[in-house]
Amino acid sequence: MVVGRSGRSSWCRYFEAAAERYDEEDFTQATDTEVAQLRSLLDLQPGQRVLDIGCGTGRHAVPLAALGLQVTGVDLSPAMLERAAARADAAGVELDLIAADARDLPDHLGGFDVALCLCEGAFCLVADGVEPLAHDRAVLASIHRALRPGGRLVLTGLHAARLLAAWQRGEPTGTLDLLTLTETSQHQLEDGSVVELREHYHLPDGLRTLAESVGFAVEAVWAGGAGDWRREPPTVDDFELMLVARRP
């Protein structure tokens, strides 16, 4: 069942429009590999409570629930959550699904053993009218509050080194603010309307410092990418960074 409500921000409108075809995107095709990697990295055990922030269509949440984990999924997009609910029903598993902003998770969400925020489900996707670093700090702080002491976070975010290299090669995809490492681009939706989207990029040391500033003990910052969570230092070619951290 889907509960809660969300606003109609630019990112919400974008994902509402993208929900129907989301699972056809190339980056979603390695889900089984990613779930296996999460299971190994976090030593996931049946009965543990998992919070999946920016859960989308439930492509990670549903197979994790099938392993016996108690999974709660949060997303800004009601259309994404409806697809997650349908996926859970088809798989015969239970999910708690909540429409909410990751920067301000409901007060009753607490005591989780594990939090996931994968594939820019919320982190790096800057809300309208919000300073980029403040947005990402708020997401991390909200996740920190939702974890029990000792609870762990796995989060992926956009890698600034790769973005800057692309711009140096003359391959821009929008407008770049070098001061904030934020790229702004415009996307036309199927109804003809245009949304302006901002994506905030991070360097490894900056991501580590940001996580520590809200109380996390950082275990690692690795290279990240769809189906390629190889637990190695990032290079300029890596599209994403993976943060592994713990609430002390």
Sequential DSSP letters for 148-181: EEEEEEEEEEEBHHHHHHHHHTT--SSEEETTTT
Angstrom distance (rounded) from CA 81 to CA 88:
10
Q: What is the pLDDT of residues 34-62, one digit of tens each?
A: 999 999 999 999 999 999 999 999 999 99
The position carrying tokens 């300029």 is 236
Q: What is the pLDDT of residues 90-104, one digit of tens each?
A: 999 999 999 999 999
Q: What six digits make up the tokens of 179? A: 């001061």
Residues 108 and 4: beta-carbon distance below 8 Å: no
pLDDT at 218: 99
CATH 3.40.50.150 fits 2-157+202-246, yes or no: yes
Angstrom distance (rounded) from CA 56 to CA 31:
13
Residues 100 and 74: beta-carbon distance below 8 Å: yes
Q: What six digits make up the tokens of 88? A: 């859970």
pLDDT at 224: 84
Q: Which residues of 15-45 are buried (b: 16+ CB within 10 A; e: fewer)?
A: bbbbbeebeeeeebebbeebbebbeebbebe
pLDDT at 179: 94
Q: Sketch the domain layout of the chain as residue ranges.
A: 2-157+202-246
pLDDT at 2: 40
Global pTM reads 0.92
Residue 242, pLDDT > 80, answer yes
Q: What is the pLDDT of residues 97-154, one digit of tens each?
A: 999 999 999 999 999 999 999 988 899 999 999 999 999 999 999 999 999 999 999 9
* Mean pLDDT, the chain, whole residue set: 91
Angstrom distance (rounded) from CA 82 to CA 102:
18
Answer left, alpha or beta for residue 33, where phi above 0 means left and psi between -120 and 50 means alpha. alpha
Angstrom distance (rounded) from CA 183 to CA 180:
9
pLDDT at 165: 87
